[in-house]
Amino acid sequence: MFPPPGPARLVFSTALVVAVVAFTIAVGLIWVDRSTRQQTTDDWRERIRGEATVAAESLNADMRQLSDLADALASELASGELPVTRIEARLEALVAQHPDVFGVGVMFRPYAYAPDRRLHAPYIVKRHGVHRLVRVEDVYDYTEPQHAWYHQGTARSGWLEPFFGQASQAMLALYCTPFRLPEAQRARDAAGADGTVCIDYSIEDVWDLVGALDLGETGYAFVITDQGTFVAHPRREYARQGQNLHDIADQLRDPVLRRLAERATDQRSGVIAHSNELTGQDSWIFYRPIAAPNWSLAVVAFSAEIPLDLGEHKHRQIVIAIAMITGATGLIVLLLAYRLDSKPALWSGSVAIALLFLVGVVHIWTLEFAEAGRDPPGAVMLVDRAGIESYLDGYGEEARLQRFDAPIQIATGMFVQAIRFQTAHDFVVTGFVWQRYAVPEHDDLRRGIFFPDAIPQQDVREELFRLREGDSEVIGWYFKTTLHQPFEYSRFPIDIKTLRLRVWHPEMARNIVLVPELEAYRLIHPTALPGMEPDFRLPGWQVQRSFFAYRFHDYRSDLGVRGNAREGDFPELTYNVTLLRNITDAFISNQIPLFVAAVMLFAMLMIDTRETARASLYGFTTSTVLATSAAIFFIILLAHIDVRRRYAAEEIMYLEYFYFITYFTIVAVSINAFMLMALSDNRFFHYRDNLIPKLLFWPLLHGAFLVVTVYVFL
């Protein structure tokens, strides 16, 4: 039922149109935002899935080609097409025709080659990029029980579990197939195979293949056998030590990894979501079978690296909030159209709209605080050893292409005990830092670290210990340093600060890359605050996260050292602490005076009246209002000046807009008092004794807060 014709119906119709349009815009933007994010995520997942599929197919084709070559060689021996006296020439021709073959050989059982020769095993293997002939029997007795590859190779065809080859001095994936010589060439008649033909696929080639996948900054891939043994992994010790995915899943008590191991070893393909409780990383693991050797390829891609436009998402969320608030305001006004003559209803509507605007302000603050959980821009968060190794492999390749020295990795740890802000842009940090040097590989390196952002006169470092642990030397230092880091205060007090401790090694002429020693921390999850003193407190702030990261910085200079890697994007190690300002403290110290001033101004507005009796009762006069407004103005002005002095910001801070709005409100209340008495008849000021300005006070005040909030954070 529509209100009766007149102002009420006009208000109703306008409010209805505004509400419908606003809610339509909100729904449309919600759909656009969700569909855009979903489409981006789907495209990303499809690209990673495609990378995994192509890599698995490429690896499968390479290995099938190798097994076919070995089978063909065994067939030539069995048919007599290849005499035993020409085996070496045939092997040389094979590697000349297929230079990617790492190694190939023919291993005879005892006395099968010649009655007077117990073992014979010509083997051509790649050494330093050149194929060379090696006689395996001169290196070791391959028929001994511990050499399972020979015994399996003479029994059946197939790929063996990867192992370190003594003759090749490399990690190998080996395919062996038995052969039996024709009667005329057999040196001694015996049952079974006369030997085995083996062909090698270097694990280095597997690493190169999976390392070339485009999986983001820290995404990586690994290959396992049908027993779950690692063939290739960014943490290369997994393959060298023969570790097993089943065992790692059991050690971590990770049911998702256990399920992945079961599915992958069953030669299945698919995708599985994984959340790492130790690191806090969410990822998708795509797995594909490699049919020829019965292996599986798994690709780990982290959800944090989905190329979502987070800034655009936040902007859409703010616009959606504005549309929803506008629509809800339209609904409130629509309902008030039926009760325009009811003072309680009008006051209820005024309060409801004011609260609605306030909710909008708080919602935008919440969106802004969500930024604290995002990775730092222009940096790679380091919480996973495999991800670090994957990134450094790429950096090492880039350094090689640019003809820099090969990167030297030095494990570095950090433990922060205390942080104190000294000025708005300087903070004091105390704690411990340690480094682990390999012995004797790093004997020629100077021991030490320094903070490039430190103020020299306030940088103290003292060596605490120097220990020898196996093949490594560990040095620890206590430090107390004042670091200068320009902070932006334009969003104060809704601001997020990331304190960044940049760590350099003093050997500037060497391409030294500091690597976080993640193994030194029980939990590396950023919200578990690794490297922070337990129960760490910083007055006025909430510590959200701590983490290591590589920060990319092009110094646009070689810093005086020709060929220095710092000419390009050098992975500079930083230890980061993300802080959220305690908004309660900030509001008590800064916003309470503004709130009190607003209440006093509203009280002054409420006593504005043209009725002589009420004016006499309240003591209302225009001069009294002006004097009180001037007093409030000077109090707020002093508080404003104090804020500017404390934070020395060059730009206008978010909080300052609240002061500006308060100044405007003071002027508006003063003008209202003057106009109320100066004008003889005005519908706006005189309607029901100044009711309209009184009803509009809180909605306009909070609406102004919402407008400046949108302006600053949109």
More confident residue, 275 or 197: 197
pLDDT of residue 617: 59
Q: Is 201's pLDDT higher than 70?
A: yes
Cβ neighbours of residue 19 closer than 8 Å, sequence gap 6 or more = 326, 327, 328, 330, 331, 334
* Contact indicator for 188, 111 with CB cutoff of 8 Å: yes
pLDDT of residue 558: 63
- What proportion of the chain, given as a percentage, has pLDDT over 70? 91
Same domain? For 568 and 596 the reply is no
CATH number at residue 570: 2.70.170.10
DSSP structural state of residue 213:
S
CATH number at residue 669: 1.20.58
Same domain? For 573 and 624 the reply is no
pLDDT of residue 166: 61
More confident residue, 305 or 480: 480
Residue 563: pLDDT band by 50, 70, 90 thresholds?
low
pLDDT of residue 32: 93
Residue 619: pLDDT band by 50, 70, 90 thresholds?
low
Average pLDDT over all residues of the chain: 85
The total number of residues written for the chain in this structure:
714
Same domain? For 146 and 275 the reply is yes
Cis preceding linkage at 440, omega within 30: yes
More confident residue, 236 or 26: 26
pLDDT digits (tens, 9 = 90+) for 85-136: 899 999 999 998 988 888 899 999 998 888 888 999 999 988 777 888 989 9
pLDDT of residue 553: 66
Same domain? For 46 and 161 the reply is yes
Same domain? For 402 and 466 the reply is yes
Q: Give the closest residue to 62 by CA, choosing from 207, 201, 260, 214.
A: 201
Same domain? For 422 and 435 the reply is yes
* Contact indicator for 186, 155 with CB cutoff of 8 Å: no
Same domain? For 477 and 609 the reply is no
pLDDT of residue 165: 63
pLDDT digits (tens, 9 = 90+) for 636-671: 999 898 888 887 777 888 989 999 999 999 999 888
The predicted model gives 414-432 an average pLDDT of 92
Same domain? For 665 and 546 the reply is no
Same domain? For 172 and 271 the reply is yes
pLDDT of residue 328: 94
Domain range for 42 is 1-341
pLDDT of residue 667: 92
Q: Which of 3-17, 379-393, 662-676 has the highest mean pLDDT?
A: 662-676
pLDDT digits (tens, 9 = 90+) for 281-297: 888 999 999 888 888 99
pLDDT digits (tens, 9 = 90+) for 134-162: 899 988 899 998 888 899 999 999 988 77
Helix (H) or strand (E) holding 363: helix 343-369
* CB-CB neighbours of 205 under 10 Å: 16
Cα(631)–Cα(667) distance, integer angstroms = 12
pLDDT of residue 643: 85
Total domains in the fold of the chain = 3
Q: Give the closest residue to 601 by CA, choosing from 696, 706, 703.
A: 696
Same domain? For 594 and 571 the reply is no
The predicted model gives 308-322 an average pLDDT of 89
pLDDT of residue 354: 94
